[in-house]
Chains A and B, each alone.
Chain A
């Protein structure tokens, strides 16, 4: 029972699907952020697995940059969410239609 690259890619795809379902299902913006974290993490697993099975460090480097991007996304996104919640009292997606989009 050798664990190969495909095992990790399939796992990463399953996690990505869970994240996608979360993004399409959720209405609360905070939980949408959680689903985004799941997406980023699933891709990180794929990067690390490819990096390991090809003996190449580039995958790990990209995983680091994805981590950095996730951290800054959380900082800015939560700041915006707090501002929105102070103004409107909820963080539902449906209420954010001031641009009539």
Chain B
């Protein structure tokens, strides 16, 4: 009973938040709504008994990803209203419906055929975090290490890309200085 109430409440909240994210014309509203939606999604993980995943969801998404977006937005002009693409409405609706049907089929196919057996069944009487640790560090050790290397590569790429000319501030420089800097960059690019 409580599970149903929690499910419907958080489903409603999540859908509302994500709808605001994709429909608002203010970038800051979109960011805030997305952060709220991420927290509401972690509630589903807690309902489903995936405690560790829920905690990681809050830490990584709301703590790291959203903070990164918030800091990244300082570089962009976010006060301006976001202009929307003017596409054909029917194409958009049709493509979305088609994709949704495809996803339902993907998920429903194995359930209909009903031949799923637990590859790594969870051990009874052990907490979720302990279970996750056991499976992650035995069966999924190599993917785990690869993911670690991928995160390292992403970190280096982020620093190299965003950290270039961090010592210069376009907002504090005068117009002439910016122009001179641009000329220099163009020369470098052309040569």
Query: Which A residues form the contact surface with B (CB < 8 A)?
Result: 1-3, 5, 7-9, 11-22, 24-28, 30-31, 33-35, 37-38, 41, 44-46, 48-52, 54-58, 60-61, 63-65, 67-76, 78-83, 85-86, 90-93
Residues of B within 8 A of A50 (CB): 107
Q: Are A78 and B104 in contact (CB under 8 A)?
A: no
Return the chain A residue nearest B104 by Cβ. A13
A38 in contact with B18 (CB, 8 Å): yes
Pairwise interchain contact A24-B95, C-beta atoms closer than 8 A: yes
Give complex CA distance A71, B92 in Å.
28
How many contacts A-B (CB < 8 Å)? 227
Contact B68 A1 (CB under 8 A): no
Residues of B at the A interface (CB closer than 8 Å) are 1, 3-4, 7, 11, 14-15, 18-19, 21-22, 27, 30-31, 34, 37-38, 41, 44-45, 48-50, 52-53, 56-57, 60-61, 64-65, 68-69, 72-73, 75-78, 82-85, 87, 92, 95-96, 99-100, 103-104, 107-108, 111, 116, 118-122, 131-132, 135-136, 139-140, 143, 147, 150-151, 153-155, 157-162, 164-165, 170
A3 touching B4 by the CB < 8 A rule?
yes
> CA separation between A33 and B37, bound complex, in Å?
15
- Determine if B85 and A71 form an interchain contact, defined as CB atoms under 8 angstroms apart: no
**Do the beta carbons of B82 and A65 come within 8 Å of each other?**
no
A28 touches B82 (CB 8 A): yes
CB distance from B17 to the nearest CB of A (A): 10
- Which residues does chain A contribute within 8 Å of B165, judged by CB atoms? 86
Choose from B41, B48, B57, B143 the contact partner of A65 (Cβ within 8 Å).
B143
